[in-house]
A = this chain, B = another copy of it.
Amino acid sequence: MQKTPAAEPPQIVKLPCSEYPAAGPVAEIAKNGYAPGPAYGQGTMTSYTEYLTINTKERYEIRDITAEVERVRAAAKLQEGFVLVSTMHITSSIFVNDHETGLYADIMAWLEELAPFGKDYKHHLTGEDNADAHLKRMILGHQVLVPVTGGKLDLGPWERIHYGEFDGRRNKRVLLKAFGF
């Protein structure tokens, strides 16, 4: 194991903040023991990637994966930047909404109305029966970019990151890519 060839420059963050969390600037953040500099954050970029495997019991299912996103942020030691959360399958979604099971049921019923299962889709000429899943996933979207500020997922009080499955009961992968410094 070699040493890292070049020492990293000090990484210094001082964030302006107009409204949140209501008490003016976010606390000054100094990594590596350096005192905060005169300006906002600057640093050398880090990239860290994991792949989460999800296998749902049901064909249609919604699952809160916020804890996984935070786990990846922490593993990457990210102070400032993003975690991209992106499903690698074209019959599932990543979306942000309330963690509330009544709403989960509403979302599924609503998607079934907008893009019903079992219609005479042309995609089914290939032997598949999941065209509805390909459509449903478009409405909720397939990826979310989670901001990281001051070493935390920078989410609103009710924002939770969800995986939406529309053709489950088999292994599906979700990419989690932390990017920043």
Q: Which residues of A contact B (CB under 8 A)?
A: 1-6, 8-10, 12-13, 15-20, 26, 34-53, 75-76, 80-82, 84, 86-90, 95-98, 100, 102-103, 105-107, 110, 114-115, 121-126, 131, 134-135, 137-145, 147, 149, 154-159, 173, 175, 177, 179-181
Contact = CB atoms under 8 A, between A and B. Distances in A.
A16 B4 CA distance: 17
B42 A45 contact: yes
Give the secondary structure class of A's interface.
mixed
Of the listed residues A13, A17, A123, the one surrounded by the most CB atoms of chain B closer than 10 A to its CB is A123
Given A10-B5, A88-B155, A156-B89, A138 B95 contact: yes
14 contacts: A17-B49, A19-B173, A42-B44, A45-B181, A47-B80, A47-B181, A89-B156, A102-B122, A102-B123, A103-B134, A114-B114, A139-B139, A145-B145, A156-B173
Contacts of A38: 1-4
Contacts of A100: 123, 126
Contacts of A98: 90, 123, 134
B154 A18 contact: no
Contact of A123 (B15, B103, B157): B103
Contacts of A123: 98, 100, 102-103, 106
Contacts of A179: 80-82, 180
